[in-house]
Amino acid sequence: MKRFVVIGLGNFGASVGEALYRHGHDVVAIDHDPNVVERTAPKVTRAVVGDGRQRETLDRLGAADCDAGIISTGDDITASILAILALRDLEVKEIYVKVISHDHARIATRMGVTETVFPEREAAINLGTRLSASSVFSYVRLGTGVGIQEMIIPSEWEGKTLRELQLPTQYRLSVVAIHDVLRSTMLVPPDPDRVLVQSDTLLVVGTETNLERVASLM
């Protein structure tokens, strides 16, 4: 079990805190709004009303002993920066920050945070990529220029195996799973000698360029 402190309980912060708690971790959550604290309290270990920008407040909550801090202060960039400073002063090992702009991300990165999260931008990229290709069911951006997508099998791949297709060589893509849609089963890792059928979909990982290239086969 790990211990986390979540600063800011909007949709993002509350959801992260709830997910961590559901996975068996100790989660301390703080927000200045009593209403959101009351809503979140049953879904985390402890939720308190307070100022997450203040080192003293976070210290009293035991933030110094946390494995990681998650900062989600909405549009208040100043509050985000001050919360980062407070967690760094307490020597919290890892700090994750929800950002609202590229400049916000640059500032947080310069301050040495572990990772910045730009959920609105990521969601927009994922949706735009999925809508641009009718053969793609879902798309998740994993990092700069890299993603994973679930795609329909092109007709020329039907009746062949992954070993025969040699996708890592032909398209520089890795297949991480075969989704047997008819049986609602996910084959992980995929059987390289299983013959692909029309109702299968593939989960493939690669660069955005190579994913677009293979999606264009449909």
CATH number at residue 77: 3.40.50.720
Peptide bond into 189 cis (omega under 30): yes
Q: Domain ends where: 117, 145, 161? A: 117
Q: Could you read off the pLDDT of 168-182 as tens digits, one per residue?
A: 999 999 999 998 887
Q: Could you read off the pLDDT of 126-135 as tens digits, one per residue?
A: 566 555 555 6
Both 103 and 153 in one domain: the answer is no
Q: What is the DSSP letter of 50?
A: S
Structural domains of the chain, count: 2
User: What are the residue ranges of helices labelled H in the chain?
Assistant: 11-22, 34-40, 55-60, 77-89, 102-110, 119-132, 162-165, 167-170, 208-215
Residue 208: predicted pLDDT: 87
Both 23 and 110 in one domain: the answer is yes
Query: What is the CATH number for 206?
Result: 3.30.70.1450
Question: Residue 46: is its pLDDT beyond 90?
Answer: yes
Both 113 and 126 in one domain: the answer is no
Query: 6 forms bridges with which residues in the sheet?
Result: 29, 70
Neighbours of 16 (CB within 10 A): 22
Both 14 and 107 in one domain: the answer is yes
Percentage of the chain lying above the pLDDT 90 cut:
66
Both 13 and 101 in one domain: the answer is yes
Q: How confident is the model at residue 141 (pLDDT cuts 50, 70, 90)?
A: confident
Both 103 and 162 in one domain: the answer is no
Both 105 and 157 in one domain: the answer is no
Full residue range of the structural domain in which residue 57 is found: 3-117
Helix or strand or coil: residue 67? coil
Q: How confident is the model at residue 205 (pLDDT cuts 50, 70, 90)?
A: very high
Question: How far apart are alpha carbons 51 and 35 in whole angstroms?
Answer: 15
Residue 42: predicted pLDDT: 96
CA 9, 2, 78 angle in degrees (round to 5)?
Answer: 35
Six-digit token string for 154:
């092109």
Q: Domain ends where: 82, 101, 117? A: 117
Q: How confident is the model at residue 184 (pLDDT cuts 50, 70, 90)?
A: confident
Contact 109, 81 (CB under 8 A): no
Both 38 and 59 in one domain: the answer is yes
Residue 132: predicted pLDDT: 56
Both 152 and 66 in one domain: the answer is no
Both 130 and 203 in one domain: the answer is yes
Residue 211: predicted pLDDT: 86
Q: How confident is the model at residue 147 (pLDDT cuts 50, 70, 90)?
A: confident
Helix or strand or coil: residue 196? coil
Both 111 and 128 in one domain: the answer is no
Both 144 and 71 in one domain: the answer is no
Phi/psi-derived region of residue 159, left when phi > 0, alpha when psi is between -120 and 50, beta in every other case:
left
Q: Which of 58, 64, 65 is nearest to 29 (CA)?
A: 58
